[in-house]
Amino acid sequence: MKPKTGKPQTAEQIDLNRRHAIQSGGLAIAFLWLGGSGIASAAINARKQPGDAAAALADGNPAFAPNAFIRIGIDGTVRLVMPTVEMGQAIYTGSSMLLAEELGVGMDQITVEHSPPSDDLYGMPLLGGQITGGSTSTRGTWQVLREAGAVARTLLVAAAAAQWHVDPSTCTVDRGMVHHTPSGRSVGFGAVASAAGQLPMPDKVQLKDPKDFQLIGKPLRRVDSADKVKGATQFGLDVRVPGMKIAVVKACPTFDGKLASVDDKAARALPGVVDVIRIGDAVAVVGEHFWAAKQGLEALGITWDRGENANLTTQQLRDALAESALNGKSIVAREVGSRPADGKAVESVYQLPMLAHATMEPLNATVFVTSDKCEIWLGTQVPARVLDAAAKITGLSKDKIIVHNQYLGGGFGRRLETDSVEQALALAKQVSYPLKVVWTREEDIRHDRVRPMYHDRISAVLDANGRPAWYGYRTSGGTVLGRWAPMAMGKDGLDSDAVECVVEVPYEIPNLKVEWIRHDMPPGLIVGWWRGVGSTHNLFVVESFMDELAHHAGKDPLEYRRALLQKNPRSLALLNLAAEKIGWGGQPLPARVGRGIALGEPFGSRVCAIVETEVTAQGEIRLRRAVVTLDCGIAVNPSSIEAQIQGGLLFGLSAALYSEITIKDGAIEQGNFNDYRNLRINETPLIEVHRIENNEAPGGLGEVGTAIAAPALANAIFAATGVRLYKLPVDRDLLVQNANALKSVVSATVASQGRDDA
């Protein structure tokens, strides 16, 4: 099933009155909806919008504010207001490049700023609100931010041309200056900013041809690097407000449990402890500093009402999910043709665990609530949702609430939720001073909104040549979309995220059936989006199974995929490039070393990963090398692309090797990086990233590496040991118990990887 491709980008006149249709993928559900209201959301726009005047006034009424993103003062300062948030994915740099390219300024001439909460001004076209997630930031703003820069440039040039009484078409722009070469005159943006602000909005603007790009496509340094290197970047955890106290919080460890009673006598006697505050399911100790609050929290005598989930275990959850997968009512996401009566049938069951986000910066929020005002400082992926939550909890109107967004020390989907700031607001309402509420690492992991666990049954019928004539996919798991944006659920209640990258696969398969069974968790066990969302889960199953089909057909995994990609030249090119770069079938590999392939088309991009892994007789896994090939369309910043693929791959490999959230006595057992660990520096492989260049519209990047990591690793482990992994994380005991399984690997597979024990 060959995916559609976009048209090459060329210089064009953009009609600012038309809307742009953007292909969705991943978390990009293409719904224009605002939480709870069901009201269509206005997507970001390059022109002035109804809320622009108020936003500009609140911003100090700059001389020139042609849209929600650009602010130019009479002194020539250029500020770019970012529509999405920065959480390590370098989107502030990429967005700045898009705006600056068309505006005509250098990256060294601009200052970037966090946007205020506003769905109307900063609502992402692919997500229907002011939301950063689903690898949509560049895809959703690629056209609009360039147009925004072009609008500003057009008005500034028009103002200068009117001052000189010349035709605007005879003027050029460079580094914040308008030039009229025939007369040798030049003027800075600041000098014409006020005049430009009085001009009517142009109906059309001219965008650059890609061949004329000065910034886009160049490997530029990140705009936030310098401050981060010297420790000047302010994250939520760094916020300091005059008169602020610090609270450390502990919530009931069980899902849906409550606070029964607290003995706080010992805590209040400790130096630096200010107060002890209670809410329905949690207690917080307020201190003059973090250590006093933490010591006070540990000194509390807490009695919990552990609730109906007090005896809940992981095994109970798995058993219930398996039962649902077997007997639950399915929703058909896609069906083409029918299952052939003849052919070799292959079927497997895959299971994936719950996962925590474990961002480097634990959750935190600083809140100051008075009778007529509320201020919030935090790092969030959903500023407008935070504003809505604050209005509901405080009872104040939204114009009385100020949300100061900060840089995020990691998001991965966790900061798409507002539960931590809701808790902070409930606590801060009880005190008369600004309150910074900090979750310890243990609190952060044990009260995460975890990725759902999954139980998937995948099957195929192979024809006489070993090719899949039909495949069926029946996935069972919870829904995040059903809670987070219920109005966006599809036909018959389908969660599109649950079947992402499986309703459409890169390969030519004539018949298929894809189903989803919704399985909700017990009350209080709330699931959330995790980096890579549905693509990460589904690609592990589909690409592991594709290797399994190659094994059943007695084919080399590389050649098997090649045969199925003949009508998909873009993905075939990626596969061939990855095989070439890693030397597939070349020099012999040592014993117990194997290579695994995974290919996918997540988030509007195409990616292929080949991981080379050694598995010791003791079941330990050593990552030797990884080659990733990528087709993401036009590369805005090649440096950021490479960093995102490397980081995403390591994130996904860490999860596949080590990560699992388990439950005992109704509570999450893991609490820190000792029992929810990541790859160490000395454990990371050499990663090569090779990109195929073209002029297609940009695809997503932030989650692509994560989505493709686990199947490439699992297939490498099979190639090294003959042990097929149907569960994650990797079970080292299973590898030891099946140490002799290597002998069962078909000779064609062994020979294809050039291993010297063939």
Of the three residues 229, 251, 282, the one that is the final residue of a domain is 229
> Quick one: residue 524, left, alpha or beta (phi over 0 = left, psi -120 to 50 = alpha)?
left
Contact 706, 536 (CB under 8 A): yes
Domain hosting 82: range is 13-229
CA atoms of 602 and 596, how far apart (whole Å): 19
pLDDT tens-digit series, residues 679-691: 999 999 999 999 9
Q: What integer pLDDT is reported at residue 12 of this predicted model?
A: 59
The H or E element containing residue 111 is strand 110-114
Residue pLDDT, tens place only, 410-437 = 999 999 999 999 999 999 999 999 999 9
Indicate whether 598 belongs to any domain.
Answer: yes
The answer to whether position 337 is within a domain reads no
Q: pTM for this one?
A: 0.93
- The sign one gets for the Cα dihedral 86, 88, 94, 97 is positive
The answer to whether residue 263 is domain-embedded is yes
* Residue 92 and residue 206 in one domain: yes
Residue 476 and residue 380 in one domain:
no
345 lies in a domain? no
Q: Is residue 367 part of a domain?
A: yes
Residue 348 lies in a domain: no
Amino acid at 205: V
- What's the pLDDT at 57? 86
- Which position has the token pair 């959850």? 317
Whether 215 and 265 map to the same domain: the answer is no
Is residue 548 located within the same domain as residue 633? yes
Is omega for the bond preceding 711 within 30 degrees of 0, making it cis?
no
Domain boundary (177, 199, 229) is at 229
List average pLDDT for each run of 10 residues in the chain, which is 758 residues long.
41 52 43 40 76 87 94 96 96 97 97 95 90 94 96 98 97 97 97 97 93 96 94 97 98 97 98 98 98 98 97 98 96 97 97 98 98 98 98 98 98 98 98 98 98 98 97 97 93 94 97 98 96 96 98 97 98 98 94 97 97 95 98 96 97 98 98 96 97 94 97 97 96 85 45 46
- CB-CB contact of 716 with 625 (8 Å): no
Residue 731 carries which side chain, given as an amino acid letter?
D
In a domain, 1, yes or no: no
Instruction: Clarify whether residues 162 and 252 are in a common domain.
Output: no
Please write down the HEC assignment for all residues of 151-172: HHHHHHHHHHHHHHCCCHHHCE
pLDDT of 51 reads 86
* Measured CA distances, 185 to 142, 153, 177, 443, 505 (Å): 33, 17, 10, 62, 57
Give the phi and the psi of residue 498 in degrees, each rounded to 5: -65, -25
Closest CA to 70 of 112, 132, 14, 106: 112
| CATH code: domain of residue 404 | 3.30.365.10
163 and 19 housed in the same domain: yes
Claim to verify: residue 209 and residue 294 sit in the same structural domain: no
Residue 375 forms part of a structural domain: yes
Do 44 and 189 belong together in one domain? yes
Are both 494 and 394 inside the same structural domain? no
Long-range contacts of 175-184 (CB under 8 A, 24+ apart): 175/104, 175/105, 175/106, 175/109, 176/76, 176/78, 176/104, 176/105, 176/106, 176/109
Q: Which of 206, 229, 252 is the last residue of a domain?
A: 229
34 plus 151 within the same structural domain? yes
Same domain, 134 and 277: no
589 and 735 in a single domain? The answer is yes
Number of folded domains that form the chain:
3
